[in-house]
Amino acid sequence: MTVTTTPVETVAPLVRPEAMALAATENQRVLDLLSALDDDDWARPTECPAWDVRALAAHVVGGMEAFASIREFVHQMRAGGKAAGDRPFIDGMTEVQVRDRASLSREQLLERLDRVGPRVARSRGRVPRLFRRMPLKQELPGGTKETWRMGYLLDVILTRDTWMHRVDLVRATGRPLVLTPEHDGRIVADVVAEWARRHTRPFTLHLEGPAGGTFTSGVDGEEITIDAVQFCRILSRRATGPGLLTQEVPF
């Protein structure tokens, strides 16, 4: 079997058309997964603190609805700021997303996800350039504070967030995780490229599984072999790892 090695510097950044196509596919995959769950599954705890599967689904729906409607976005921003208090703003915003949808039935959540998933993938791609350049302060789970561009959130983070929550849902329910090189492998490769830019050290990274591949940078660097999904879980601070795996990447 021939293994293709990719110099990480050659991983192309996501551009809007590709980013929106990935978003549309990911939104459909999380809907397919949630639609396949039974009543017991929806009450199972997840690795996201204080959220069971139902609450996590409400967050996913709320996050998509925020970027599909200006009115909903403004509401979540205002209410999220009040709810956050001394906590990071994102904690308040996600709290509002779950709280506002607490009265919805499972069927209603699925209906809203089915409706908003395709729409938000298109609307994220139509955001004006001026808004995409707007700075956005963010605190990562590890405590690092950064300033992003709104375009980075729209093109990269929102899809990564949904993808990682699909992983959370699978781990909570024991359902199979659908992975393909074309979709999940592209998301993971983008994560690898950002991880490499953040730590700037030489490495050889062997990621196992359908979403994996072998990536290199420089010579005589750390050599890592790990499952591709677990690699992303570690970088998102859902798990821990040694050496260069201590470098956090936002999801």
| CATH for 138 | 1.20.120.450
77 pLDDT higher than 70: yes
Judgement on whether residues 131 and 237 belong to the same structural domain of the protein = no
119 and 80, same structural domain? Answer: yes
Is 84 in the same domain as 151?
yes
Same domain, 239 and 133: no
Domain count, the chain: 2
Same domain, 236 and 124: no
Tokens in use for 125? 């791609």
* 123 and 196 both lie in a single domain: no
Residue type, 52: D
Same domain, 165 and 223: no
Q: pLDDT band for 72, please (50, 70, 90 cuts).
A: very high
Residue 123 has pLDDT above 60, yes or no: yes
Q: What percent of the chain clears pLDDT 90, i.e. is strictly above it?
A: 90
Let me know if residue 251 belongs to a domain: no
> Looking at residues 166-176, what average pLDDT do you find?
98
> What is the overall mean pLDDT for the chain?
95
Domain-terminating residue out of 118, 152, 173: 173
Compute the 3-state secondary structure of the chain and give helix, strand, coil in percent, each to the nearest 5: 55, 15, 30
Predicted TM-score (pTM) of this structure: 0.94
Predicted pLDDT at 38? 95
Residue 72 lies in a domain: yes
111 with 206, same domain?
no
Pair (146, 232) in one structural domain:
no
User: Residue 113's closest CA among 25, 52, 20, 30?
Assistant: 30
Q: Is residue 232 situated within a structural domain?
A: yes
Is the separation of the CB atoms in 97 and 59 below 8 Å? yes
As given in the structure block, the two tokens for residue 16 are 């809007």
- What is the pLDDT at residue 3? 64
- Regarding whether 201 and 158 lie in a shared domain, the answer is no
Residues 156 and 234 in one domain: no
Of 150, 173, 196, the residue at which a domain comes to its end is 173
End-of-domain residue from the set 139, 173, 207: 173
Q: Angle 168-233-251 (CA atoms, 0-180°, nearest 5)?
A: 85
Domain region containing 23: 16-173
- Predicted confidence at residue 36, as pLDDT, reads 97
156-166 residue pLDDT tens = 999 999 999 99
> Which residues of 44-179 form beta strands (DSSP E)?
135-139, 145-149
pLDDT digits (tens, 9 = 90+) for 128-150: 999 999 999 888 888 889 999 99
Is residue 194 situated within a structural domain?
yes
In the predicted structure, residue 1 carries a pLDDT above the cut 80: no
Task: Tell me if 113 is assigned to some domain.
Answer: yes
- Write out pLDDT tens, residues 13-60: 999 999 999 999 999 999 999 999 999 999 999 999 889 999 999 999
For residue 77, is it within any domain?
A: yes
Work out the percent of the chain whose per-residue pLDDT is above 70: 99
Count of alpha carbons within 13 angstroms of residue 212, beta-carbon side: 17
Paired with 224 in beta bridges are 205
- Looking at the fold, whether 44 and 149 belong to one and the same domain comes out as yes
